[in-house]
Structure 1
Amino acid sequence: MSGQAAPAVTGPAVDAGSFRQAMGRLATGVTLVTTRFDGVDHVMTANSFTSVSLDPPLVLFCVRRGSRFHHAVLASGVWGVSVLPAAMEDAGRFFAQPGRPVGGVTRWPCHRGVRGVALFDAALAVLEASTHAVHDEGDHAIVVGAVTALGPPRDDRPLIYQRGRYRTC
């Protein structure tokens, strides 16, 4: 560790652009979160997905409040997660487009989980969850889910997101 610590940034100096740049230094995995509401598949790309607890098995993701996906996933109460391999960057980009038409799931091979949500066949891991809790924080909701089903994991290169770009390792 170097001898000098970076000066602390506090208060009004923490603007959205600076915060985004700082958080962009963190490499994250890329997932597709899916739900089915009123017979329609809804999908969003999320890099804000993580495990919360092993006992009981809980996971979470964050979704912008007021978005179509926010409404659909809260109304449905069930959702799936597909952890993307590097080969699915095109799917990650497609489902990250704001304002794109709802649907598009069938553009990539997928199957229905036991709860009826779409899960992508090429994913490194898939799981299904029931909403356990929702916490409104800032402009997003933190959706915590109890894992109800889990598919076998696959080995492949993961798709990651860092500094505003998709990458692989």
Structure 2
Amino acid sequence: MSVRYAHEPDAAGHFREAMSRLATTVHIVTARENGARFGVTVTAVCSLAADPLSLVLCLNRKSSALPPITATRRLCLNMLPEDSASLADRFAGGRGHKGDARFQEGSWQDDTHEPPLLIGAPAALQCELHEAHPYGTHHVLFCAVRSIHLSGPSSALLYGGRGYGGFSMPAGDTGRAPQ
């Protein structure tokens, strides 16, 4: 086993390698400002509390979606279905798409007053930004959930080991939540 300490020169590379081994659900965070749509692929998302309904997510400070989120204080967290690796890459900017061109793939519920919601997402949460805190290269966003949209039983796209995979939701009572 190789051990590196945070103060060593090569620690950042080892940290990135360790974090690449953490499989996480892939989401697209969307926002809307003055009619323009913004979106970015994210994996740093976590539920925060059920009372009040809230979540926390992290966005790179260079993300084009961050200014409209902080200005409007609204966002939508769209969980991607397992077959959406192409959409994840598109919103990550890896295929050169920027701005509204990112929304040319996928089916979007496009209410002019709300951030875009991905139709068929296993879960999509419309949120209000409660707090934003800068930390290093990112901003940590604390969000209050305003509405929850669930599609039928499905699967979720995961990212880990620098590649995509999937997770099939267990069959059964989809209305039961963990305690």
TM-score (norm 1): 0.88
Distance 1:18 1:138 in 2: 18
Q: Deviations over 1:110-129 (max 9, x none)?
A: 11469511111121001100
Distance 1:57 1:38 in 2: 27
> CA separation of 1:115/1:148 partners in 2, compared to 1, >3 Å: closer, same or farther?
farther
Give the secondary structure class of the aligned counterpart of 1:167.
Answer: strand
Q: Deviations over 1:112-148 (max 9, x none)?
A: 4695111111210011000001111111000111000
Alignment-derived partner of residue 73 in structure 1: 69
Contact 2:26 / 2:88 at 8 angstroms: preserved in 1? yes
Give the secondary structure class of the aligned counterpart of 2:21.
Answer: coil
| Equivalent position to 2:97, from 95, 100, 116 | 100
Give the secondary structure class of the aligned counterpart of 1:155.
Answer: coil
Distance 2:12 2:140 in 1: 19
Distance 1:62 1:110 in 2: 23
Contact 2:29 / 2:42 at 8 angstroms: preserved in 1? yes
Letter in 2 for 1:161: Y
> CA separation of 1:114/1:37 partners in 2, compared to 1, >3 Å: closer, same or farther?
closer
Give aligned-pair identity as a percent.
25
Letter in 2 for 1:28: T
Q: Show the 5 A alignment for 1:108-147.
A: 108-112=106-110, 116-147=114-145
Which segments of 5 or more consecutive residues in structure 1 lack a partner in the other structure?
none
Distance 1:114 1:97 in 2: 24
Letter in 2 for 1:136: P
The answer to which of 97-106 and 57-66 deviates more is 97-106
Cα offset, 1:25, TM superposition: 0.9
Distance 2:11 2:111 in 1: 41
Which segments of 5 or more consecutive residues in structure 2 lack a partner in the other structure?
168-179
| Equivalent position to 2:23, from 4, 27, 43 | 27
Contact 1:123 / 1:154 at 8 angstroms: preserved in 2? no
Give the secondary structure class of the aligned counterpart of 1:21.
Answer: helix
> CA separation of 1:137/1:29 partners in 2, compared to 1, >3 Å: closer, same or farther?
same
2:158 pairs with 1:160? yes
Contact 1:105 / 1:118 at 8 angstroms: preserved in 2? no
Cα offset, 1:105, TM superposition: 1.7
TM-score (norm 2): 0.84
Contact 1:126 / 1:151 at 8 angstroms: preserved in 2? yes
